[in-house]
Amino acid sequence: MEELVIRPTTKFIKIAYALVIVLLLAGVIAQSQFKDSLPPGLPSWVIPGIVALLLLWPASRHWAQRFTKMTMVGDKLRYEVGMLSKATRTIQLSKVQDVTVRQSLPQRIAGVGDLTIETAGEASRLTLPNIDAAQSVADRIIDASHNIGVRGILDDGEETRRQSGPDNRGEQGPGQGHGAGAGGGRR
C-alpha cells in the first residue's frame, strides 16, 4: 500500500494573506492621502505598521498548519502535530469504525471539508480541519480499513493469508461439509 500524506489546505490562509495585503495597501494609501490631518510628530510608518501586524494572524495559522499532518502507511494512520514539541497519535486502520466529512458553505465553495475519524476506545475521535478533497480521502481510508479487515496485514505491511482450521470458518478438511453433522439437527 502506498503512503498517503494528508495535510490541511492552505486555501483559506492564502485568502487571509491577500486580505491583509489589501488592508496594508489601503493603509499606505490612507497614510499618504491624510498625512496633513494626522497629529504632528506621528511617524509615517505607524498606520501601515499597525496594519502589518495583522500579518501575524495568517502567519501563525500557516505555521501551525505546516506542522500538522496525517500519514496513512501500511495498516496505520499516524497523526502528528507540533514543531518543537510534537504529539503523535497512531491508529490501527482495522480499528477505524467511521469516517465523516463535514462541510460548511465556505468549505463547499473551496472544495474542502473537515475529516473526522472514529475508532473504538477512549480517545475515539480525531478531526482534521480543512482537508482538500475530503470525501475522496475518507473513501480511501474506509477502503484501506476494509481491505485490512478482510485480508489482514502484518505490521511490516506485507499481506498475509489468514490460516483457519477445520473448526473455524474457512477451509474444510476432507469429509467435513457445511451440514448439521451427526445429531446436530435435533434440539
Number of structural domains found in the chain: 1
pLDDT recorded at residue 125:
87
* Domain harbouring 123, CATH code: 2.30.29.30
CB atoms inside a 10 Å sphere around CB 40: 4
Does a structural domain hold residue 19?
A: yes
Instruction: Say if residue 181's pLDDT is above 70.
Output: no
Dihedral (Cα; 21, 23, 26, 28), 10-degree rounding = -70
What are the angstrom distances between the C-alpha of 151 and each of 2, 19, 99? 17, 50, 20
Does a structural domain hold residue 118?
A: yes
Flag the least confident range among 65-74, 108-117, 160-169. 160-169
| pLDDT tens column, 30-62 | 777 777 776 777 776 777 778 778 888 899 889
pLDDT recorded at residue 55:
86
Note down the domain range covering 109.
4-151
Does a structural domain hold residue 12?
A: yes
pLDDT recorded at residue 100:
94
Cβ–Cβ < 8 Å for 135, 101: yes
Does a structural domain hold residue 21?
A: yes
Buried b (16+ CB within 10 A) or exposed e, 80-109: eeeeeeeeeeebbbbbbeebebebeeebee
Question: What strand order describes the sheet that includes 112-119?
Answer: 96-102, 112-119, 125-132
pLDDT recorded at residue 1:
56
Instruction: Say if residue 87's pLDDT is above 90.
Output: yes
Instruction: Say if residue 95's pLDDT is above 70.
Output: yes
| pLDDT tens column, 149-179 | 766 544 444 444 444 444 444 444 455 444 4
Would residue 96 be called left, alpha or beta, if left means φ above 0 and alpha means ψ between -120 and 50 degrees?
beta
pLDDT recorded at residue 67:
92
Does a structural domain hold residue 174?
A: no
Q: What is the mean pLDDT of the chain?
A: 79
DSSP H or E stretch at residue 59: helix 56-66
Q: Which residues lie below 8 Å from residue 64, measured CB to CB, with a gap of 6+?
A: none
Q: 152 by DSSP, 3-state: which?
A: coil
Give the global pTM. 0.66
Q: Name the grid cell of 2.
A: 502506498
